[in-house]
Each structure stands twice: as structure tokens, then as C-alpha cells.
Amino acid sequence: MRILVLGHTGYLGRHVAAQLGALGSVFGGGRSPDADLRVDLATADPGRLAENLADLSPDAVVNCSGSLGADPVTDAEVNARGPAVLCAALRRAAPAARLVHLGSAAEYGACEPGVPVTEDAPTLPATSYGATKLAGTVAVASSGLDAVVLRVGNPIGPGATPMSLPGGTALRLRRAGVDRDAVVRFGDLSAHRDFVDVRDLARAVAAATTSGPLPRILNISGGRAVPIRELVRELAVVAGFRGRIEEAGVGSVRSARVAWQCSDITAAREALGWEPRFTLTDSLAALWASLGAPGEADSPA
């Protein structure tokens, strides 16, 4: 089986490519110099991309590329235009290939507290990131290809990016060290999020790559709403942090607009035979271990 992983050097893409290695030949796609297919979906020409895809002749394509809310323009170019261009190229070059696209639970927006959202729930994204990810999902779901969108919860686990809450918190705790007088300050931590270990996500992608006909959209998450405050405090325990954690002011824009988020993963269990294996504690321990020794570079491996 020939599998192309776009965004193979990113946080999600690295884990996904490693997991897919057991299924066949994996080719990396993206902007990195060592990519088998050099492409930037934000600016790629559909015709040229189709030619390159025809040469590669993939049986499956996994799109892990995405912008993490850097700014609205970049979000639109990468998260909305990118999947549309990819679908257009695949229709010309490899119409029978399975396409697995990574969407985001941010596409749902605000949810009713206590009620996990199913795939047919209304989508009312609260940020440009969520809105552009939704546009990418629509492009994939309406493409006519053999495609599935995995709506991913909040990824966590080894190598988490510093731009994410878990990754950024881990770095702040490491910098604070074990000084009992250290203080790490956050905004409001009362929001609830649904975390999924990146290794569980990679397993879901592998299952989606090889399964028979699938629904257009599947939620992939831990299936549990976790208070962000709980995550921060548990990570502090894992880190051996002995100082104080303080909350002051407001949290992020998304936290203010989306106070509670949890995805129903029943459909993924039924369609993929998949469910998460790693607990939150497992994920946080693996995240902390991935930072390396305090003297090493302050970014996850």
C-alpha cells in the first residue's frame, strides 16, 4: 500500500506517519526539504499538484497539514484553500485513493454543557481557526472522493507543540523548576476540553486508511470533558512542581466563547473498531518525558 502523508513533519503528522509505516510504503508531503512530495497546499496549483500525485500514484492520502490559528489569512490559506486544492488534484490524478483529512472539534463551537456532540450537531465555530477548519471539512466531505474527515479533539501526548495548552504549560513548568517560591500564572482555567492522545489519534488514522466505506465525518477524541484546571494541576504533579499555580483575569478567546466541549465517539467505535487507550495521566507523563532533561532545548522533540 502506498500512503502519502501531508504535513508529515508536524506534531500530528510525525505520529501518524510512524503508525502507518506498518501498513506499507509511506511518503512524506510538505514544505520540508526532505519531503518526497514538495508542496505547500496554501499556494499549490491544482494542475501541477495533480501531475505530482499521478507520478506518486498513492493508494491513500492523509492530510495532517494545518494552521493552528496563527492569523485569519494563514488559517484560510492552509485550512480552507489547502483541502480544496488537494481534493481537486486527487479527482484528476488518483480518484480511487482513500483520503483521510484531519478536521477539528473547534468546528462545532459552543456546546451545551453535559451533552457530548455527535457528528450531525450544528457547527457554529467561534474562531477563524474553527471556521476555516470547517470550510476544509466541507470541501472534503462534498468532494465526491472516497474521503473521511476525522474531527479531532484537543491533541495531547509526547511532543505536544508549545502553541498548545498542554505543550505550553509543560514548558512553563519546566522553566519554573522545583523552587517552592515559583509562581506560574494563568488566565481563567474553568473551561472544559476533550483531550485525545496523539498516539490514539494515529491509530484512528490507520484504521480509517484501511477500513471499508466510512461515514463522511467521525469524531476522534477522548470522549470526556476535562476541566483545564485539572489538566494543569495534574501536569504539575507529573512535573514535580512545588510552587504555586495562580489564575487571574480571563483565558483565551476560545475559552471565553466555548466553555465546555466534549465529542461523542460512538460512531468511531462502530465504524473503525477504535477507542482511546491512553488515560490523561498516561498522556501527560509521555508529554513531560518528551521534553528531555532541563538543560536541553525548551521545545518538545
Segment among 172-176, 204-208, 275-279, 295-299 with least mean pLDDT: 295-299
DSSP 154-218: EEESTT--TTSHHHHHHHHHHHHTT-TT-EEEES----EE-EEEHHHHHHHHHHHHHSSS--SEE
Question: pLDDT tens, 57-113?
Answer: 999 999 999 998 778 999 999 999 999 999 999 999 999 999 999 999 999 999 999
Question: pLDDT tens, 183-197?
Answer: 999 999 999 999 999
Q: Do the Cβ atoms of 235 and 173 come closer than 8 Å?
A: yes
Cell numbers describing residue 150: 476525522
Taking the CA atoms of residue 64, residue 67, residue 72 and residue 77 in that order, the dihedral angle to the nearest 10 degrees is -50
**Residue 195 to residues 8, 106, 213, 282, 295, Cα–Cα distance (Å):** 21, 12, 27, 12, 29
Paired sense of beta strands 192-193 and 226-227, if any? antiparallel
Give pLDDT, residue 257: 82
Segment among 178-182, 196-200, 290-294 with least mean pLDDT: 290-294
Q: Do the Cβ atoms of 101 and 136 come closer than 8 Å?
A: yes
Map grid coordinates 484531519 to a residue.
102
- The number of beta carbons lying within 10 Å of the beta carbon of residue 189 is 18
- What single letter denotes the amino acid at residue 189? L
Give pLDDT, residue 46: 97
DSSP class of 126 = S
d(CA 214, CA 224) in angstroms, rounded, equals: 24
Report helix, strand or coil for 135: helix
d(CA 130, CA 123) in angstroms, rounded, equals: 9
d(CA 45, CA 175) in angstroms, rounded, equals: 44
CA angle 189, 130, 192 (to 5 degrees): 25
